[in-house]
Structures are given as C-alpha cells and as structure tokens.
Chains A and B, each alone.
Chain A
C-alpha cells in the first residue's frame, strides 16, 4: 500500500533555532514530492521536488529529495513564531489504477516559541 510517513510528528523550538522535518515514502509511479504549510486553514504550497539532489530554496526554507532512499527533508533556519504550523509532505503519483492524486503524510506540528 502506498504510504507517506513524516517525522517527527511534533516539534517545539525557540525562535532562531533550525529545524529539519523528514518525509519518507513508498509509492509506485512516483511523479513528485510536495511540501505544504497549513495554518488554521487551507494548505499552502511550499515546494515541489521531482529530481534527486537538487535543493529548492525559498528564504529561510529549503528542501531536497533523495529518490534512491525515498525521502525528503524540509529545513527551516532562524525560525520565527510565524513558522508555527503543520507541515505536510505529499507524494503525487499517477499510473496503474490511479489517474493522479496526492497522498499526504500525517504532518509535523511545529511550534516556535518566542
């Protein structure tokens, strides 16, 4: 069965800390891995990764994919209280019996204290 597993499930840090969120996956017909940030509303898109070893970067956030070991990490440096949210990892796959959909992990709840 296709699955996406995130760790840790929750994380509490102080402002200025650096955090690393993990996502491992087992899916067939992999197309891409995506990271979303969810506050008290809809998930908002952060990154999409399709190739191994190529870091995607946006401000203090960065992410990389390892398609051989089937995992991705999301790094947040110099965390701020506004980074407090649920971070969702999702894998998009299409083929076989699926026309294409995202399968999400459980999410990592990040809490940043001042």
Chain B
C-alpha cells in the first residue's frame, strides 16, 4: 500500500497521559499536514511541514502539542498531559510540493479517546 499510513489507528488513554501518533506520508511528498476532526465537524488544521521544516502552526495547537518531521519523511504528533477535550480523530495528509492546487491525500486517521 503506497498511501498515507497512520499509527496507531485507535488509542484509548487516561487523562494526564502522553500519547504519540505517527504518520508515514506518500513517498516523494514533501508537504505533510496534521488535522484534527471531532464528531460533526470538518477537519481543523493543526500544523504543516515542508520537508523537515514546520512552517505553520494553528492557534489550536497548544503548548501540550508538538509535532516533528525529523528527516523530512515520517512525522510524529505528541500530545502531553492529555485532556478529555483532546478526544478526536487526528488525520495526517500529504501532497507533492510541486502541486499548488490543494489536493491532499489523507491517511485513515488515528482516533484518540481520553477517559
């Protein structure tokens, strides 16, 4: 499968714990995005990487959230001291940088439940 891969697909954790999600984009895609989607809402932008550089972060991304893309390939999104409000689907998407049209290729998402 050469699509965007996300792990784990589901994560249940207790409030206050740390969680980390991983995203493997389509190879050769330089752009990588993280979005968060809650029930009944469209995906909300969290952050964007061009290769290894994190170029943009949403105001939604509090200091408990951190994302990295150390070698410009896979990316991780870590949430520290989780809160119940963090429960959501975390979607990763990628696109080739030469295509400035907006089409993003999404992974299946990582669903987080904070108890």
Do the two chains belong together in a single complex?
yes
- Which residues of A approach B to under 8 Å, CB–CB? 4, 6, 31-32, 34, 41-45, 48, 50, 88, 90-92, 94, 97-107
Alpha-carbon distance between A90 and B95 when the two chains are bound, in angstroms: 15
Interface size class of B (residues with CB under 8 A): 20 to 34
A interface SS class: strand
Alpha-carbon distance between A50 and B104 when the two chains are bound, in angstroms: 15
Q: How many residue pairs, one in A and one in B, have C-beta atoms under 8 Å apart?
A: 67
A-B contact pairs, 28 of them (CB 8 A): A32-B101, A32-B102, A41-B108, A42-B91, A43-B91, A43-B106, A44-B106, A45-B103, A90-B102, A91-B102, A92-B102, A94-B100, A97-B56, A99-B48, A99-B55, A100-B31, A100-B102, A101-B45, A101-B48, A102-B33, A102-B102, A102-B104, A103-B45, A106-B40, A106-B41, A106-B42, A107-B41, A107-B42
Alpha-carbon distance between A4 and B107 when the two chains are bound, in angstroms: 22
Q: By the criterion CB–CB under 8 Å, are B43 and A104 in contact?
A: yes
- Chain B residue with Cβ nearest A42: B106
